[in-house]
Amino acid sequence: MTGTAPGSATRRIYIDKQSPAAYDALVRTSEAVREVTAEAGLDRSLVELVNLRVSQINGCAYCLHVHTRAALRAGETAQRLGVLAAWRDTELFTPAERAALALAEATTAPADTAAQETAYAAARAVLTDDQISAVIWVAVTINAFNRVSIMSRHPVRPER
């Protein structure tokens, strides 16, 4: 399968279909991370907030589509999802959610070592070691899925 983004003449290979063994390994990693998040006591809603925030940073339309629906199923509100990109400027997120979002952002942009240190210190104040590890794994995994979808140009079609 191939995809073409609007305004682009370059057809892309859907790398998940072209190399299914590699994609299946990524899916199995995601499943393991889901278990780790549950064992660490992270709410599914928080996991989806991390998935969405990382996907916002990376500009992955397909993952934003998928994880917005998942967040709503997990009980997230339209208000919180609507302001997620500006989470620092609201009082809608708990200290643990704020720490997880900052840690996810630092994982997504690891070259900013100052932000990384700040985020890690904030996370240490409100999250357990297992939760910190789980949040980082969620961010690592969604970053990988973002790249698969972005480079494949997975389409987001209108819902009926």
pLDDT in tens, 119-154: 999 999 999 999 999 999 999 999 999 999 999 999
* Residue 119 domain-assigned (yes or no): yes
From CA 61, how far away is CA 152, in angstroms rounded?
12
As for how many domains the chain has, the answer is 1
CATH number of the structural domain spanning residue 42: 1.20.1290.10
pLDDT at 6: 57
Is residue 31 situated within a structural domain?
Answer: yes
**Is residue 137 included in any domain, yes or no?**
yes
Supply the DSSP string of 54-106, one letter for each residue.
Answer: HHHHHT-HHHHHHHHHHHHHTT--HHHHHTGGGGGG-S-S-HHHHHHHHHHHH
Residue 127 CB-half CA count within 13 A = 30
Residues 49-62 pLDDT 10s: 999 999 999 999 99
Q: Which domain holds residue 132?
A: 19-152
Tell me the pLDDT of the chain averaged across its residues: 95
Interior/surface letters 87-114, b for 16+ CB within 10 angstroms, e for the rest = beeeeebeebbbbbbbbbbbbbeeeeee
Is 115 a member of any domain?
yes
Q: Is residue 36 part of a domain?
A: yes
160, part of any domain: no
Q: pTM of whole model > 0.85?
A: yes
User: Does residue 158 sit within a domain?
Assistant: no
- Measured CA to CA, the distance from residue 2 to residue 42 in angstroms comes to 36
Q: Is position 41 within any domain? A: yes
